[in-house]
Amino acid sequence: MTGPKRSASLPPGLIVRSGRFVWTTMWHTMMSRIAPRSKGGEYIRPASEFRDWVGEEPYPASPQRYRLIVGLGCPWAHRTLVVRALKGLEGVIPTVQVSPSADEGVWVFNQPFEECRTLPELYQLAKIGYRGRATVPVLWDMVTHTIVNNESADIIVNLNSAFNGLAQRPDLDLYPEALRGEIDRWNDRIYPAVNNGVYRCGFAQTQGAYDQACEELFAALDEIDEVLAQRRYLCGDQVTLADVRLFTTLFRFDVVYYGLFKCNRRRIQDYANLGPYLRDLYQLPGVASTCDLEAVKRDYYGNLFPLNPGGVIPNGPDMTYLQSPHQRERVSVG
């Protein structure tokens, strides 16, 4: 009498190796769509293509003429919202919101805009045959029905000065002539290592690319933390565009970059000076209203499928500490 038949099955090792090969191949394919890379696996951010300015022909500074198209989870778009709030331009430049579609891989308008459902459709309206990425923020002209600018670094400079005749706080200069050299130097230091550095960590496709990006990121954060021991803001006692550009990355750091992007050497709130500095900026008039924590978590954890295939959105962390006293007014360059 023979025993029961054993069902044929693949050796566990073969299953694991096959699954890893298939997933790794698919992962690299998906990552190449959202994160172009170098031969060494390092993330390369494509350049913006629309670089015109309000205040120059044919774009005069007029109330209600322009729309600021933003995704609330995007740090680059968030910069423009912060400057708009600090300058008091909410009644001058309305916003139009888009949200990322996990299924389509593009930004979709929350409400149809210019008869467009998606942001790529709007880019095509602005430039027929456009083949680049459709990104936010976008400064859109309702008169010529085109994109004025889609580079956040340009837009925040433009918002700081071009609309002063219409702003509630025209005397607030976030890019003063006397500090422009220092602001630009900070931007040149912070952009590759921190603003884009967290993406270089999260989107790295080789261990070497990740290790290099991670070292540069935390070397820059350590350096900034030391400087902030002697200065309330990056350039002294006055908040500038350098602080705005850093703020939107710091706000997201403990929420998404620390875990999802593998930037987990240290949290911002654990730094002696960067933590209180973040709270200081968050508590500036109007800034907190631009910060949507749930949108940040939803957009990153819910839509970056290659980094979070299950789409599970974490409950934490608790960010109420941002409202606690910062005592940064005690720090002065004087």
The catalytic residues are: 74, 199
Q: What tokens appear for 35 in the block?
A: 């994160």
**Contact status, residue 142 vs residue 67, Cβ threshold 8 Å:** yes
% helix / strand / coil in the chain, to the nearest 5?
Answer: 45, 10, 45
Nearest to 276 by CA among 307, 332, 233, 214: 233
CA distances in angstroms from 237 to 155, 193, 208, 228, 334, listed in the order given: 24, 24, 39, 11, 9
Contact predicate 271/223, CB 8 Å: no
Residue 205's closest CA among 23, 17, 26, 40?
40
Contact 216, 265 (CB under 8 A): no
Residues 6+ apart with CB under 8 A from 47: none
If you compute the radius of gyration of the chain from its CA atoms, what whole number of angstroms results?
A: 22
| 138-141 sheet: strands from edge to edge | 116-118, 107-113, 95-100, 66-70, 138-141, 146-149
The structure tokens listed for 260 are 């999802």
Question: How far from the centroid of its chain's Cα atoms is residue 47's Cα?
Answer: 15
Joined together, the tokens standing for residue 212 give 């290099």
